[in-house]
Amino acid sequence: MRHSLAGTVVLLLAAVSVPASYAEDEDPVVITATRFPDSRRDLPVGVTVVTSDDIRTSATSNLPEMLAQFGLLHVRDNAGTPNQQVDLRGFGITGDQNTVVLLDGVRISENELVPAQLSAIPLEAIERIEVVRGSGAVLYGGGATGGTINIITREGAPGTRAYALGRSGGYGTREARAGFGRMGEVLGFSLDLSHEDTDGYRRNNRFRQTNLSALLEARRAPGSRAYLRLGLGEQDLELPGALSESQIAVDPRQAATPGNDSERRDASLTLGGSLAAGEHELAADLSRREKKAKSLFAPSDFTDTRATLTSFVPRARLKLGAHELMLGMDWERWDYENDSSFFGFASRRVGEQESRALYAQASVWLGARTRFVAGGRVQRSEERLDSVRDSHDLDAYELALRHRIGRGWSVYGKHGTSFRLANFDENACFAPPCPASLLEPQEARAGEIGAEYEGGGWRARGAIYDKRLENEIAFSPAAFANVNLAPTRRRGVELEALWRASRAVEWRAALALLEATFRTTGRDVPLVPEAIATAGVSWSFSPRSRLNVNARYVGPQRYDNDQDNAFRKQPSYTLVDVKLQHRIGRAELALEVRNLFDERYYSYGFWDGGSSFFAYPQPERAAYVSLAWRLE
């Protein structure tokens, strides 16, 4: 994408132009992007909400794929795992490290080069998912340069909730999910269980996962709640490895590494709650998460990792008339141990990272239609990996303004900074001589302007953004180590629209144009698609039947390992998924077809330094049948 973003403003405004019929009394969508409930209509940020109905109508049970369908972000498989990388606003291979993933406001992103375990979250327990682009550094700290993804689970509603679902289909997939919950006037509980077993598209790619989530909660009055959440997960995955271009041409389902596999065990416990004090509100979460992961790389190489995250995040929202002031403190500690052996060389790494932060964010109404938000964060981080120690004093700020023009139209603008610390894997030394210090923090400065419309069955958003980074953290093939890069840049255009044409038909479409470059050379950053586009329709063609069609296009991108842009681009691909649902009383029967037109593609590939590449081929067309029963 070679163009001036300033020249796209007219296109942006034209693309989101919709009929100007606006109902002032339309119900606002309440989200928690500010760590407390708020109206999306009033927030000066670009937010996409993936609803529980979106999840239910999706033709996949893979949460990253759902986010790609509805959240205007990119996902890639670079390991043969259902826990794909998520990438907001074009960060390529470090997309996970520049996107903070949260579960009810508690961080579940990893401090290693592995994606968040989204597959461990029971789908029926999700109320909605909030995708907030380019914001979150003030409230959530490091790693939010691309944005935040906050997965909000259901709170207990008075009465009984129960469900059971079975799903079977392509590549030997067998899946079962069940849950039960009951909420009285004061006390309630819920329990969700899920199990998935699939042979996988490729040989030596079997995936098995079992998850349990339990919630105990108590309520005293509106706005006052206490809860205890337990999560347990087991995952076993066979690793097929990357195939060469010639191997893909012969048989894309073959395994390059037939003896490789991995296992992972997770446990988490969170105690939290909120307390209403008049118009004011206090909240806090105390969480501990433990992970044990092992991988075997035949014949004798391995990795064995143990990691623990402990966090405490108290916060308060003070109401000052129509205005608000939010104050908070974050404390977070990671403990990490890794034993590994590669090519006969054994190593052991022990690390720890502790962060303490204070933040404040004020929301001021400058008039009946104008909201100004200003926030800042200061953070002290202390890190150790083996004998190397370092510390950093970090800060971030954000200024944002939103003005409601009228007749359904609003405009917003924001400017801010963010930062990211290198994780344990990025700071690891693969071969001597090892540096005497850890990598410097990545810093970014960004601006964004946007327009939104809501009314008459329409909801639309358009935005342009420009983000400049210093000391971006990424892997350098030349140094065979992670380094701080020369200055880089991200800029782009985003357009989203949803139209409820009638009670029976809903249309949606979205487009993102992305540009990621090294500022000193003008070359493209690898693994950033030139464009992402999605489209979908949900049609209730009878009172009990619904057809859902979703299409996703991912444009060309540079292969990983091609920072000099010396090789050809990774090809684009288009995927179409279809789901047909029919209700019979409390039961629902569904037929899903994924990759309807049998597209042959891969979402991740890396250049071999010569005339070819390696990649992870993705599944061809597959059909699935599911039967669900729900009591709600």
Q: What is the DSSP string of 109-167?
A: --SSSS---GGGS-GGGEEEEEEEET--HHHH-TT-SSEEEEEEEPPPPSEEEEEEEEE
Classified as helix, coil or strand, 9 is: helix
Measured CA to CA in angstroms, residue 363 lies from 40, 128, 292, 322, 399 at distances of: 14, 24, 42, 9, 10
pLDDT range class, residue 537, cuts 50, 70, 90: very high
- ∠ at Cα 589 (585, 594), nearest 5°? 155
Segment 92-119 shows an average pLDDT of 92
| Widest Cα–Cα separation across the chain | 69
Segment 152-180 shows an average pLDDT of 93
Cα 2 to Cα 514: distance, rounded to the nearest angstrom: 10
Q: Which has the minimum average pLDDT: 55-69, 192-206, 257-271?
A: 55-69
Task: Kindly state the tokens that stand for 162.
Answer: 């129960």
The residue range of the domain holding 62 is: 5-631
pLDDT range class, residue 38, cuts 50, 70, 90: low
pLDDT number for residue 80: 78
pLDDT number for residue 8: 36
Task: Kindly state the tokens that stand for 371.
Answer: 């909201």
Helix (H) or strand (E) holding 66: helix 63-70
- Domain count of the chain? 1
C-alpha closest to that of 557 among 526, 579, 580, 533: 526
Cα 248 to Cα 571: distance, rounded to the nearest angstrom: 14
Which residues are within 8 A (CB) of 64 and not within 5 positions of it... i.e. 6 or more apart? 75, 82, 83, 84, 85, 86, 115, 118
pLDDT number for residue 119: 86
Q: Above 50 in pLDDT, residue 21?
A: no
> Rg of the chain over CA atoms, in angstroms?
24
Segment 498-502 shows an average pLDDT of 95
pLDDT number for residue 566: 97
DSSP string, 259-283: T-EEEEEEEEEEEEEEEEETTEEEE
Segment 192-221 shows an average pLDDT of 94
pLDDT range class, residue 561, cuts 50, 70, 90: very high
Q: Are 211 and 232 in contact (CB under 8 A)?
A: yes
Distance from the Cα of residue 248 to its chain's centroid: 29
Distance from the Cα of residue 238 to its chain's centroid: 24
Cα 20 to Cα 10: distance, rounded to the nearest angstrom: 18
Segment 567-594 shows an average pLDDT of 97
C-alpha closest to that of 193 among 157, 163, 161: 163
Segment 302-326 shows an average pLDDT of 95
Cα 148 to Cα 130: distance, rounded to the nearest angstrom: 8
Cα 497 to Cα 19: distance, rounded to the nearest angstrom: 12
DSSP string, 242-255: -EEHHHHHH-TT--
For residue 35, what is the domain's CATH number?
2.40.170.20
The whole-chain average pLDDT of the chain stands at 91
Q: Above 50 in pLDDT, residue 3?
A: no
- pLDDT digit string, tens, across residues 544-555: 999 999 999 999
Cα 454 to Cα 458: distance, rounded to the nearest angstrom: 6
pLDDT number for residue 430: 67
Segment 418-425 shows an average pLDDT of 95
Q: Above 60 in pLDDT, residue 249?
A: yes
Segment 205-228 shows an average pLDDT of 92
- pLDDT digit string, tens, across residues 365-386: 999 999 999 999 999 999 999 9
Segment 2-16 shows an average pLDDT of 37
C-alpha closest to that of 526 among 564, 571, 481: 564
Task: Kindly state the tokens that stand for 333.
Answer: 């500690």
C-alpha closest to that of 629 among 164, 55, 160, 161: 164
pLDDT number for residue 41: 61
Q: Phi-psi region for residue 159, left (φ > 0), alpha (ψ -120 to 50) or beta?
A: left
